[in-house]
A and B are shown apart, each in its own frame.
Chain A
């Protein structure tokens, strides 16, 4: 059923209240809950963190927005806390990392197939193959460092195979920029897709930067350093899809609309009743935020929000295994590279990127070392008959 953002006023910002007890809910089960419940938690945490990041920056540049943004940010901060802390403490930082990459792969694949703009759909497919490779590298690290099977987290929804090799993903900054959508002509959903992916990738970059120092193993630190750097490139890539001529108010309106879209998608798919109740509550909160933004848009910009939010959301974002699509993209596009904003065959990749890569990879490539000879096997590679008797380093 289509979802109309103007149909409900949601919960008024005055009624969006929390207690410390309320903020810290019962976490999900790493063992029993569906992997997509965790995927939703991770994505929604990213969405909330993007809301906070954007809200702070917008307030720096807009005196008249400071108070409404401050009130909404208080709620968003508490929403982020409640959502993110649904992750149980039995997830090691590396297991959570596997879950982050599963989120990146499954969400990017879902967005790529829904994106109406063919160029932007290509951007998603390009990034998808890189995150797909990150999952493979981290799975090898999890197996060889902690002796765990990444599939305990993935639950067979997502393949553990190489994509575009991480060691070849390091590019010169000009080759990470993409051509933005045009705010006047772009589809409403195109804008929401872009904000969703930016949120997810920025959160991932942030997470890797923060958890890297938890590892005593220098190889693990190098791998996090390497992949965090690619996530920075991804944030640069995806954020450059946004039209820079959008006003702060227009962007704010889109952010709130996007939060509604994502919580609505979570509500539609959630299998854990406790978590579903949180999605429902926060969808109502976001509708409240959206209408505050609408009021500001009318009063301050003197514009009608329907100019920006100009269509209904036809269907929720899909939460399911995108294995077939990912494999197809892998088979057809793994050798694509970039030259400025264009996607080109491998041989035509820019000289700048080759030069940059030669520099960062000069002392070795952790993503290659960690996965050398690695092939995922159910129950870790130690279960493979050809590894019996070998000793881990």
Chain B
């Protein structure tokens, strides 16, 4: 079973673990000419041509409905950039969907490993997971209301998927501890918060008042998630006990019985 915190053991990756071999490895052989000065210009040169000639990740889908197409065309005439809004909505959609799955994986892990050492409970995680799922549906509805297709993957949605790949790997690895999993979740929450901030600003640019309100609510919830996750992570690595609580009074977020906060 993965231990809550990393332990000291026979890690062999560093050179100190095999002093004789490492010394031999570093001793130069005069028969081998090796350039002394690092020169990475050649790498850049080979990459430059590809960068110059690259196609993008793909396109933003055209609205599939007449209303959507008309709205988009009108907004474009007004000087707005409706495609950017749709692309960023697609990004949040993808991120919230994956985020929900990240919490699913964390809940599965905590079902096995959580032992009362942290103020975090499964109910807390279930609540955040529900928030993420709700945010996903909120964004899907927003896309639909603008005439877009919430089932389409936009370029920024694709990008978010590539960025999140490492987080998915960490959460689903049976060997990672709760602390290590929370570290990955914290990375997700940090990025999520920044994403919502951008989206609120974009919706505001387009005078979508109702969406600005909904998105601001979501942003506030994400801020709360981040603060909680950060607190739990710090507890998990032995820093402190948390005192954060979700707004929802029904959520049992108080520290576990018998675990007094530090003075």
Contact = CB atoms under 8 A, between A and B. Distances in A.
Interface of A: 27, 30-35, 88-90, 144, 151-153, 155-157, 159-162, 216-219, 222, 321, 323, 327, 330-331, 364, 366, 368-370, 372-375, 378-379, 381, 384, 386-387, 390, 392-393
3 smallest beta-carbon distances between A and B, as pairs: A373-B39, A156-B21, A393-B44
Interface in B13-36: 13-15, 17-18, 21-22, 24-26, 29, 31-32, 34-36
9 contacts: A34-B12, A144-B43, A151-B25, A156-B15, A156-B25, A373-B35, A375-B38, A378-B22, A393-B43
B39 A31 contact: no
Given A156-B22, A378-B15, A364 B39 contact: no
Given A32-B11, A218-B47, A369 B21 contact: no
A108 B25 CA distance: 19
Given A155-B13, A156-B15, A156-B22, A330 B43 contact: no
B115 interface: no
A161 B29 contact: yes
A218 B52 CA distance: 12
B10 A32 contact: yes
Given A157-B18, A369-B42, 15 more contacts: A27-B175, A31-B11, A32-B10, A32-B12, A156-B18, A161-B29, A216-B162, A330-B32, A368-B42, A369-B43, A372-B40, A372-B41, A374-B35, A375-B34, A375-B35
B250 interface: no
A374 B38 contact: yes
A34 B9 CA distance: 13
A368 B45 CA distance: 12
B40 A157 contact: no
Contacts of B29: 161, 327, 330-331
Contact of B43 (A89, A160, A372): A372
Given A151-B15, A222-B46, A372-B40, A157 B21 contact: yes
A219 B38 contact: no
Contacts of B14: 152
- Among A33, A161, A364, A372, max chain B CB count under 10 A is at A372
Interface in B34-88: 34-47, 50
A156 B37 CA distance: 23
A364 B25 contact: no
A379 B13 CA distance: 10
Contact of B36 (A159, A160, A366, A375): A375
A376 to B, nearest CB: 8
A207 B14 CA distance: 27
A152 B13 contact: yes
Nearest to B44: A393
Contacts of A89: 169, 173
A88 B175 contact: yes
Contacts of B26: 378
Nearest to A33: B12
A270 B29 CA distance: 32
Nearest to A153: B13
Nearest to B19: A156
Contacts of A331: 29, 31
A219 B34 contact: no
A327 B30 CA distance: 11
B72 to A, nearest CB: 31
A152 to B, nearest CB: 4
A381 B175 CA distance: 30
A386 B40 CA distance: 13
A90 B24 CA distance: 28
Contacts of B15: 151, 156, 378-379
Nearest to B31: A331
Contact of A323 (B13, B24, B32): B24
A217 B47 CA distance: 8
A161 B38 CA distance: 14
B14 to A, nearest CB: 8
Nearest to B38: A373
A330 to B, nearest CB: 7
Contacts of B173: 89-90
Contacts of B10: 32
A32 B40 contact: no
A88 B170 CA distance: 12
A89 B168 CA distance: 11
B38 A387 contact: yes
B38 A369 contact: no
A239 to B, nearest CB: 31
A392 B17 CA distance: 29
A155 B18 contact: yes
A31 B13 contact: yes
A161 B30 CA distance: 12
